[in-house]
Amino acid sequence: MNAVSVQNLKKYYGPVHALDGLNMEVAPGAVYGFLGPNGAGKTTTLRLLTGLAIPTSGTAQVAGVDVFKMRNRLAPHIGHLPEEPAFYPWMTPREFLDYLGGLYGLNGAALLARRKELLALVRMEDVSKRRIAGFSRGMRQRLGVAAALIHHPEVLFLDEPASALDPAGRKEVLDLIEGLRGQCTVVMSTHILADVERVCDVVGIINKGRMVVQAGRQELLERYAIPAFELEADDHAALTQWSETLPHLPWVSGVTPQNGSIRVIVKDTRAAKQNLLKQAIEAGLILNRFEEVRPSLEDVFLQLVGTESVS
């Protein structure tokens, strides 16, 4: 039985079809990356699957519970970290986890053991007696994950868990999510494609309220493998200016700027090998690197849904 199963899910807000027949399957124990452009329906999906909204039509099961017929039975089976988790700022992590544990019927030695386990998991033992009000965004996200896990949920829903974090905070949260593999099923909505590529086993890409594709990360990269070349130069401005001329070439399908380099997606590998380096040199560029590279999840995403920004 799948940990999450969604059939023909629809959610309409007047004329706006936030979800328009979504189908989705998440296997038990998977770390599932949920991607889509702005307005694709990701947040709406998480709200529906956590019982925070009611669909226009369709069905869904989470951990064997019919989400819409038995919403009152759903809470013990799921954990949920919203994009901006809320806390009682005057509490300490110990107090907050004890409070939440009590709501789920944990008490005594069982609650103390679970609290100790979670504080160790999110690496907050040293700050467990500090007031939450003084915590950084990364610390609050880690505490939010601990709070969502207090009752041993079977499925954990994370909405943009690493958004707005600095690199150190993002690494902390991603390491934490990666460590949850096998302990519970994780469904992670994010706009950071590199994060999905790093920690997720399975990827679902949604667009205009429908699932475009769902597959294992490696399978997805292989299925939609597209030839790409990367060029890097010291003169970033000149490289960027020259790259703007490339989409007009018949053998180029897209150009993605990166940190000090560009990635050129091509339709014809032979033509690219014959012409791309030669044209860069003719343009006066001094290249530090020119190589054919494996496709990234970003390449696959852009191929499937176009150049719309993700959210």
Domains of the chain: 4-222 (3.40.50.300), 226-293 (3.30.70.920)
Cα atoms in the Cβ-side hemisphere of radius 13 Å centred on 125: 8
Order of strands, sheet of 57-62, starting from the edge strand that comes earlier in the sequence: 16-26, 4-13, 57-62, 65-66
pLDDT of residue 307: 52
Question: Distance between CA atoms of 31 and 132, rounded to whole angstroms?
Answer: 28
Burial string for 287-309 (b: 16+ CB within 10 Å, else e) reads eeebeeeebbbbbbbbeebeeee
CA distances from 69 to 6, 21, 74, 96, 185 (A): 14, 19, 10, 31, 22
* Ranges of the chain with pLDDT below 70: 164, 306-311
pLDDT of residue 309: 47
pLDDT of residue 90: 97
pLDDT of residue 59: 96
Tell me how crowded residue 226 is: count the other CB atoms within 10 A of its CB: 17
Q: Pairing mode, if any, of strands 261-266 and 252-258?
A: antiparallel
CA angle 274, 280, 284 (to 5 degrees): 140
